[in-house]
């Protein structure tokens, strides 16, 4: 499962837009993406969520033109989206650096492919090396009179290799950035570092497409979404509005007395219980007031009675069922 984010920027009064229309892809008799459509006409984050095999990566590759579409089109500012006309930075889920080539050579090479001059690329490389805490690997300090050989990718940990790949993704200052599972395998410190950078990029009104298995991270960045199930869109829209439509159906209760009889009497399902608190799932928001009334009428002191909307995880599980456990 993962998510797809798109952050759209505007230039002056000119509004950039991304339109994905009726994307479809089949392999033989199996349809892996079926009629995927969405439109982004203003700055925001779009998330595409689904279990493994739901069609997320296929959708990303069709959007970027890396995979031929059976049907549909992708437009960027009214014209077909191609990597030759749009500056794209892509961090693929399948990591891949040249293991025996120095880090500097690789970054300069990737920059040159996007038409960035060597002088500008070196300036950006120094900036990102510092930002990503990779300075010691890109600019090793001599030991005495002995020069230290430039670092190669296979001399770095997997986490640091991931940071180098992020640098390669951003070195051309792309307007459309695709980050496929960027936080996968990172330790907590580097996870926070990546999040900080993504927040900064979003603040610069970049287009960002990001997939991730970490739902709490998705909720941190996401504005709009589509949930894919077996290649089919099963839920689309603004995340805040989707949650609001469910109502405040998650209820946490902490009371100085036994409230189980009232919960059972109303047929309300208990989802979790701790020594101090009971968590229940309401079928409708009005049940909260009815339950509270019964507890108060029984003269049971209430310490905590808090209703909330469902989490993205709960919504996802509802839409894809048992397959969510594969995530």
Query: pLDDT, tens digit, for every residue of 183-214?
Result: 888 999 999 999 999 989 888 888 888 888 77
Segment 252-263, tens digit of pLDDT: 999 999 999 999
Give the pLDDT score at 13.
43
8 A C-beta contact, residue 189 and residue 159: no
What is the pLDDT at residue 43?
66
Model pTM score: 0.81
- The torsion angles phi and psi of 130, rounded to 5 degrees, stand at -70, -45
pLDDT score of 3: 54
Contact 239, 4 (CB under 8 A): no
280 closest CA partner among 300, 297, 295: 295
Rounded to an integer, what distance in angstroms lies between the CA atom of residue 154 and that of residue 151?
8
For the chain, list residues with pLDDT below 70.
1-15, 43, 322-327
State the pLDDT at residue 42.
74
Would you state the pLDDT for residue 185? Answer: 85
How far is CA 216 from each of CA 92, 189, 219, 273, 312, rounded to the nearest angstrom? 21, 16, 5, 22, 8
Nearest partner of 153 among 142, 140, 162, 145, judged by Cα = 162
Ranges assigned E (strand) in 3-157: 10-11, 14-15, 18-27, 30-40, 46-49, 71-76, 79-80, 88-91
Q: For residues 24 and 70, is the Cβ–Cβ distance under 8 A?
A: yes
Percent of the chain's residues with pLDDT above 90 = 63
pLDDT confidence of residue 50: 87
The token pair at 53 is 């095999």
pLDDT of residue 15: 56
Q: What pLDDT score does 65 carry? A: 92
Q: Hey, is 146 helix, strand or coil?
A: strand
Element (H, E) at 288: helix 287-297
Q: How much is the pLDDT for 202?
A: 84
């Amino acid at each position: 499962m993962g998510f797809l984010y798109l952050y759209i920027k505007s230039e002056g009064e000119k509004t950039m837009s991304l339109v994905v229309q009726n994307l479809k892809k089949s392999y033989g008799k199996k349809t892996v993406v079926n009629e995927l459509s969405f439109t982004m006409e203003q700055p925001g984050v779009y998330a595409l969520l689904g279990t493994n095999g739901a069609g997320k990566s296929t959708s990303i590759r069709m959007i970027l033109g890396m995979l031929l579409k059976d049907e549909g089109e992708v437009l960027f500012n009214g014209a077909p989206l191609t990597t030759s006309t749009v500056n794209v930075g892509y961090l693929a889920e399948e990591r891949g650096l040249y293991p025996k080539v120095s880090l500097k050579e690789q970054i300069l090479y990737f920059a040159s492919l996007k038409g960035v001059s060597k002088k500008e690329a070196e300036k950006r490389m120094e900036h990102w090396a510092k930002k990503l805490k990779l300075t010691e690997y890109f600019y090793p300090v001599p030991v005495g009179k002995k020069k230290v050989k430039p670092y190669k990718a296979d001399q770095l940990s997997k986490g640091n290799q991931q940071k180098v790949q992020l640098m390669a993704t951003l070195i051309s200052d792309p307007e459309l950035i695709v980050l496929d599972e960027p936080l996968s395998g990172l330790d907590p410190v580097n996870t926070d570092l990546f999040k900080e950078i993504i927040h900064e990029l979003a603040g610069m009104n970049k287009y960002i497409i990001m997939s991730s298995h970490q739902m709490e991270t998705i909720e941190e960045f996401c504005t709009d979404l589509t949930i894919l199930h077996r290649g089919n869109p099963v839920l689309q829209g603004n995340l805040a509005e989707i949650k609001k439509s469910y109502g405040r159906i998650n209820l946490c209760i902490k009371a100085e007395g036994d409230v189980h009889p009232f919960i059972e009497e109303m047929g309300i399902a208990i989802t979790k219980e701790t020594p101090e608190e009971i968590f229940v799932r309401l079928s409708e928001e009005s049940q909260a007031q009815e339950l509270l009334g019964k507890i108060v009428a029984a003269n049971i002191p209430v310490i905590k009675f808090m209703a909330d909307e469902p989490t993205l995880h709960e919504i996802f599980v509802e839409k894809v069922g048992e397959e969510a456990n594969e995530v």
